[in-house]
Amino acid sequence: MDKKVILITGASSGIGRATAQKLAGNAYTVCAAARQVEKMDDLKALRVATFKMDITQKEEVNSVVEHITSTYGGIDILINNAGFGLYGAMEDIPLEEARYQFEVNIFGLANLTQHVLPNMREKKYGKIVNISSIGGKTYMPLGAWYHATKHALEGWSDCLRLEVTPFNIDVIIIEPGVIETNFGNVMIEQMERSAGGGPYAAITSAVIKSFRNHLESPNYGSDPSVVAHTIAHAISVRKPKTRYAIGKFAKPILFLRRYTSDRFFDRMMMRNI
């Protein structure tokens, strides 16, 4: 059988990087894309093709997709991993920053997917893996804009799944819990910058303190390889699940959100900061 061609976005660190490393030795042709292509130099030793690509820049997206299509015949498996979290009180975050959060986490992802789908439809084969979060079904203070994008990604993915099923294309949602990446440190930096001495300074200080305590505790989260292993499984089976909740606290938190009231969940969130 011909090797399936995989494109992974946001592959310079964290889950994207771990996934590229996991899949590189598994009979796939792996292409990895990120804004900082120099951070993927060591992936080349694993025979991973690396590309500089900012998913908010349409020209870069077009160029990478066209290059992969002309070189390898198309993209069979798309792993939409690129994204970031914008944290701070909703009122304190400038709308231009909020719009950029959506540009990366939703519209850039959607643009790339639109470019990849025609070839998948023609082949009548494809798998689209969207890296969401348990934050796509839950919420916490100071995360309004980030959670909004992940809630949107969940609904977007469900609709897309219905539309592309007739073409033998699977849409798979990955919902990581607490994963040991640089995500937490970036969150803290953003919250410190956005709050200043304004009306949300007290809650911001409390959330930052809580996050720092978690980050400093041993084994505060799961290794990104846990998520990479789940992705590898999901793309290898004939009938993957529509959703995989994986990583520390993922299943317990989603269970609580599903089977408790909004007010109870609100109290639980506030009690933990």
Percent of the chain with pLDDT over 70: 99
Q: Are 130 and 80 in contact (CB under 8 A)?
A: yes
Assess whether pLDDT exceeds 90 at residue 185. no
Using 50, 70 and 90 to split pLDDT, how confident is the model at 163? Answer: very high
Phi, psi torsion values for 219, nearest 5 degrees: 55, 50
Report, as residue numbers or ranges, the catalytic residues: 146
Percent of the chain with pLDDT over 90: 84
CB neighbour class for 219 (10 Å; exposed up to 12, middle 13-18, buried from 19): exposed
pLDDT at 189: 82
Using 50, 70 and 90 to split pLDDT, how confident is the model at 11? Answer: very high
Rounded to whole angstroms, how far apart are CA atoms 75 and 4?
8
For residue 216 the two structure tokens come to: 């400093």
Q: Are 155 and 198 in contact (CB under 8 A)?
A: no
Average pLDDT, rounded, for the chain: 94
Q: Are 131 and 81 in contact (CB under 8 A)?
A: yes
Using 50, 70 and 90 to split pLDDT, how confident is the model at 213? Answer: confident
What's 2's DSSP letter?
P
In the chain, the largest separation of any two C-alpha atoms, in whole Å, equals 61
Of 63, 159, 77, 59, nearest in space to 119 by CA = 77
Q: How far apart are the first and last CA of the chain?
A: 52
H or E element that contains 5: strand 4-9
pLDDT at 216: 83
Using 50, 70 and 90 to split pLDDT, how confident is the model at 214? Answer: confident
Give the helix ranges, DSSP H, for 165-248: 183-195, 201-216, 224-236
Q: What is the pLDDT of residues 19-46, one digit of tens each?
A: 999 999 778 999 999 999 999 999 999 9
190 vs 165 pLDDT, higher one:
165
For residue 265 the two structure tokens come to: 């969940």
Class of the CATH domain delimited by 4-271: alpha beta
Burial 238-252 (b: 16+ CB within 10 A, else e): eebeebbbbbbebee
For residue 25 the two structure tokens come to: 């030795």
pLDDT at 191: 83
pLDDT at 94: 94
pLDDT at 139: 96
Residues in the chain, overall count: 273
Rounded to whole angstroms, how far apart are CA atoms 213 and 231?
30
Assess whether pLDDT exceeds 70 at residue 1. no
Mean pLDDT of 252-271: 96
Phi, psi torsion values for 213, nearest 5 degrees: -60, -40
Look-up: residue for tokens 């699977």? 170
